[in-house]
Structure 1
Amino acid sequence: MGEMSSYQLGVIGALFLSVASSVSIVICNKALMSNLGFPFATTLTSWHLIVTFCTLHAAQRFNFFETKPIDLKTIMLFGILNGISIGLLNLSLGFNSIGFYQMTKLAIIPFTVLLETLFLKKQFSQKIKLSLFLLLVGVGIASVTDLQLNFVGTILSLLAIITTCVGQILTNTIQKKLNVSSTQLLYHSAPFQAAILFVSGPFVDQMLTKKNVFAHKYTPIVLAFIILSCLISVAVNFSTFLVIGKTSPVTYQVLGHLKTCLVLAFGYTLLHDPFSERNIIGILIAICGMGLYSYFCTQENKKKQLVDLSLASQVKDKDGSPLLAVKNMSHQEKESLEPKKSTKDSLV
């Protein structure tokens, strides 16, 4: 019971860290890009990952965690895939309307459920599916406005959905199959993610903004917000791997939509963004869906734990019964078993 309660506290802590850090970095980046005129999102993400790796490397040097060797080919492909998914999401935002981009993010949950059902044989109950549907409807009402389609944007969105889903499923699978922690996996994969975004970032940003990141005027306040964004990103990247490893890719996506609702609320409260009755209704429906998802997941986990305990008890009883029976036999009863055993051996 002690181990279970500590595990639950770990999950709650990971969820809280993920929400707090993600909302903080969105507000910081919004100020940096909208108010200070620094629109280079992909390049900024590469700096985030470089700072994350340097922080983890320093932590490893001070023995805060131990590294575990992972197959180089596996970790390289995993890192590159995650880097590509980030680039594709940024391109999708650049080539599509904000409404269609939000639809792209909403599509990640059903596509993840589909992939896990087909390839990992994972079962999702009707109650879980209903709560996810309610969540998606709520977030859609709250955040999706205009839907402008174009061929290039649609292709980029489909590629972004596929790479994001596969990357998050692999984040969970690699941690469990190779028995590595979220910190170890992030430490090994961050350099490859950073490298691909550091090389491609300036080209992607120039394609989207028609501006050169190296020609930008870096004032002290811009540099201060970039440094703050990079520092917050360490918590964001760490909590992302931690949440996916401790829960599941679908739960992480549900958490992501909670962040969307919180960002909308904070944007209205702190930045005075426009807010309507539609936003309020959508957020309330989404929160209802999240609550049902959490409740149904908790109930199913309790049932699974009871089944596991029951099976373990049955196995223990089965293993213990013969020993107890033989131990409690009299000497004559034991001798009476010996001829039967020899007869059975001779038949064999």
Structure 2
Amino acid sequence: MGEMSSFQLGVIGALFLSVASSVSIVICNKTLMSNMGFPFATTLTSWHLMVTFCTLHVAQRFNLFETKSIDMKTVMLFGILNGISIGFLNLSLGFNSIGFYQMTKLAIIPFTVLLETLFLKKQFSQKIKLSLFLLLVGVGIASVTDLQLNFVGTILSLLAIVTTCVGQILTNTIQKRFNVSSTQLLYQSAPFQAAILFVSGPLMDQFLTKQNVFAYKYSPIVLTFIILSCLISVSVNFSTFLVIGKTSPVTYQVVGHLKTCLVLGFGYTLLHDPFTGRNIVGILIAICGMGLYSYFCTQENKKKQLVDLSLVSQIKDKDSSPLLAGKNMGHQDKESHEAKKSNKDSVV
């Protein structure tokens, strides 16, 4: 009973940490960029990744996880691509409202499915396609009526979607090919992600904002929020692995819906992001589509597991049947031999 209660407390703690850190970092970054006049999203992301790598390095020194070597070219490609996608996501947050940013993140899943269908020839059921269509309808309603929709923000969101989709597909491929965990892959690739953004970040930020990150006057309150943002980013990465490890990826997706609702709610109440009735309807439709997608994926995974188990049991039965047959034949031969011997003895 004690072990069960401690396990439940661990799960609840992991879920609370994941929700609190994910909501906090969006609110913190949005406050830093919009309300405090610190628009250097790409440079901020490079600092996030540097702090994350240093934290993982300390964790590795304390043997909290084992490192695993991966092909250097693959790690560099993944690190650069993932760093660029994270940079575009943060830039999207800086140039768009929180509602549009959340819709950008929701749109990543259907576009990932589209890329897998076109280039990897994967097949998806009609139910999953219907749920993704519903999600896209909601994204469209919420995005088209967004009061802060702008050309630069829209382009950055589209680039964020494309790079993130490719990065997620590449992540799945690398993990299966090299048999590495998410933590091991993040530890190997974080330096490359931080390096590409640390070099390109100030130039990109200056091009988009017409301001120089090194000429910016850092007030104590801005420095406090930057440090807080970096610390929360470590908590976001850590809690992601913790939740998936203690529950399942599907549970993490469901928790993601709660994060979306909380982020939008805080953005509306604390940061006074403009919302209309159509925005709210579109967001609710998108979240409904996402919920149906998670449900249908869970059902299909269960069916697939049952089919796999039945196939394994059939293979085992086939493999064991000749042995059983051989044993039965041997047993029958032994009985026949004993019967003949008995008859021979009785005749004598």
The structure-2 alpha-carbon separation of the partners of 1:137 and 1:13, relative to structure 1 and needing over 3 Å to count, comes to farther
Moved more, 62-71 or 321-330: 321-330
- The CA deviation at 1:168 is 1.1
TM-score by length of 2: 0.79
Q: Secondary structure at the match of 2:329?
A: coil
Q: How does 1:1-348 map to 2 (within 5 A)?
A: 18-89=18-89, 107-144=107-144, 145=146, 149=151, 154=155, 159-238=159-238, 247=249, 259-330=259-330, 333=333
In structure 1, how many angstroms separate the alpha carbons of the residues matched to 2:278 and 2:87? 31
**1:55-96 CA distances to partner (integer Å, 9 max, x unpaired)?**
000000011111011111110111011122234455667889
- The CA deviation at 1:205 is 1.0
Q: Secondary structure at the match of 1:51?
A: helix
- The CA deviation at 1:256 is 6.4
- The CA deviation at 1:148 is 5.2
In structure 2, how many angstroms separate the alpha carbons of the residues matched to 1:97 and 1:221? 23
Is the 8 Å Cα contact of residues 98 and 267 (structure 2) preserved in structure 1? no
- The CA deviation at 1:104 is 5.9
Is the 8 Å Cα contact of residues 42 and 197 (structure 2) preserved in structure 1? yes
In structure 2, how many angstroms separate the alpha carbons of the residues matched to 1:83 and 1:289? 29
Paired amino acid for 2:179 = N
Alignment root-mean-square deviation, CA: 3.6
The structure-2 alpha-carbon separation of the partners of 1:17 and 1:34, relative to structure 1 and needing over 3 Å to count, comes to same
Paired amino acid for 2:21 = S
Paired amino acid for 2:170 = L
Moved more, 253-262 or 76-85: 253-262
Paired amino acid for 2:57 = H
Which one has a bigger Cα radius of gyration? 2
Is the 8 Å Cα contact of residues 172 and 244 (structure 1) preserved in structure 2? no
- The CA deviation at 1:97 is 9.5
The structure-2 alpha-carbon separation of the partners of 1:254 and 1:202, relative to structure 1 and needing over 3 Å to count, comes to farther
- The CA deviation at 1:318 is 0.9
Paired amino acid for 1:317 = D
Q: Secondary structure at the match of 2:78?
A: helix
- The CA deviation at 1:325 is 1.1
Gaps of 5+ in 2: 1-8, 335-348
Moved more, 79-88 or 224-233: 79-88
Is the 8 Å Cα contact of residues 41 and 94 (structure 2) preserved in structure 1? no
Q: Secondary structure at the match of 1:54?
A: helix
Number of residue-to-residue matches in the alignment: 323
- The CA deviation at 1:134 is 1.3
Moved more, 237-246 or 311-320: 237-246
The structure-2 alpha-carbon separation of the partners of 1:32 and 1:148, relative to structure 1 and needing over 3 Å to count, comes to closer
The structure-2 alpha-carbon separation of the partners of 1:116 and 1:26, relative to structure 1 and needing over 3 Å to count, comes to same
The structure-2 alpha-carbon separation of the partners of 1:103 and 1:23, relative to structure 1 and needing over 3 Å to count, comes to closer
The structure-2 alpha-carbon separation of the partners of 1:95 and 1:24, relative to structure 1 and needing over 3 Å to count, comes to closer
**1:14-44 CA distances to partner (integer Å, 9 max, x unpaired)?**
8775544222101111222222221111100
In structure 2, how many angstroms separate the alpha carbons of the residues matched to 1:74 and 1:102? 30
The structure-2 alpha-carbon separation of the partners of 1:331 and 1:273, relative to structure 1 and needing over 3 Å to count, comes to closer
Q: Secondary structure at the match of 1:215?
A: coil
Moved more, 237-246 or 302-311: 237-246
